[in-house]
Structure 1
Amino acid sequence: MINLSCLCGQIRVELTKRPDFIHACNCTLCSKTGAHWGYFAPSEVAVEGVARGYVRDDKDDPAAEIRFCETCGSTTHFNLTASAVAKFGDTMMGVNMLLADERDLAGIELRFPDGRAWAGAGDFAYVREARIIGGEAEAD
């Protein structure tokens, strides 16, 4: 189990498992919200506290509602939007793994998808090689 919280502690997130990998995406949404995403089934995540939501308006059909703490501004997680749930089911949510203690993430692969160049369908290209968190060659 991994416990995370926003900076002020008003929002707490409890995970029943570690993520399979973490995305440090370079798209505008991820870089401006300051998030590295771990992906989970909604049943694997418990969120306590009230989070505000933001759905981007620069996309015709955005898939994610970013959730953040109203007090400290920390991005905590995302839920799929209603239109994404209608298409894919309520199958995934993202958690900002930058809120975790890095020791809890040791051994997990950190990937660097090129979200800025992604067309919105298909696989991501990557801007650099993945690394293992807590590995010897820490470059970040």
Structure 2
Amino acid sequence: MIELSCLCGQIRVEMGKRPDFIHECNCTLCSKTGARWGYFDPSDVRVDGRTKGYSRSDKDDPSAEIRFCATCGSTTHFVLTDGAVAKFGNTMMGVNMALADERDLAGIELRFPDGRAWDGAGEFGYVREARVIGEAAIVQ
């Protein structure tokens, strides 16, 4: 089990398992919210505390609603919007793994998708090679 919280501790998030991998996306939304997303089935996540939500206004049909603490502003997780749930089902939510103790994430692959260049269709590229959390970086 992994437990994390926002900065002030009013929002607590618990996952029954570790994510298979974590994304540190460079798109505007992810970079400005300071998120490193681990993906889970909603049934594997428990959120305690009241969060506020934000969906992008620059997209006709945003797929995610970012949730954050109304007191300290920490981004805690995202849920799929009603439009995305209608298309795909309630099959995924993201948890901001930047709030977790990095020791709890040792051995998980950290990937760097190029969200800024992604047009929303198909697979996206990556800005650099993945690394495994907890392994020393190799300096060249």
Verify same fold: TM over 0.5. yes
The answer for the alignment partner of 2:99 in structure 1 is 99
* 1: CA distance, partners of 2:122 / 2:76: 26
Counterpart amino acid of residue 35 in structure 1? A
Q: 1:68 to 1:102 in 2, by over 3 A?
A: same
Task: Kindly provide the amino acid, as one letter, of the partner of residue 20 in structure 1.
Answer: D
> Are residues 1:60 and 2:89 paired?
no
State the AA in 2 paired with 1:103: R
Q: How far apart are residue 138 of structure 1 and its match?
A: 6.8
Q: Is the counterpart of residue 39 in structure 1 residue 39 in structure 2?
A: yes
Report the alpha carbon displacement of residue 124 of structure 1 after superposing the two structures with TM: 1.2
What is aligned with 1:79?
79
- Displacement, 1:104? 0.1
Report the number of matched residues: 139
Q: What letter corresponds to residue 115 of structure 1 in structure 2? A: G
Task: Report the Cα distance in structure 1 between the residues aligned to 2:138 and 2:26, rounded to whole angstroms.
Answer: 19
Structure 1 residue 74 displacement after superposition: 0.1
What residue is the counterpart of 2:118 in the other structure? Answer: 118
Segments of 5+ residues of structure 2 without an aligned counterpart are none
Distance 1:138 1:24, change over 3 A: farther
SS in structure 2 opposite 1:71?
Answer: coil
In structure 2, the residue matched to 1:130 is 130
* 1:24-55 deviations in Å (ceiling 9; x for gaps): 00000000011000000000000000000001
Rounded to whole Å, the distance in 2 between the matches of 1:5 and 1:63 is: 24
What is the CA distance between 1:96 and its match in structure 2? 0.1
Task: Give the fraction of aligned pairs with identical amino acids, expressed as a percent.
Answer: 79
Q: CA deviation at 1:23?
A: 0.2
Higher strand share goes to which structure?
2
Structure 1 runs of 4+ with >3 Å offset: none
The corresponding residue for 1:13 is 13
Residue type of the alignment partner of 1:50: R
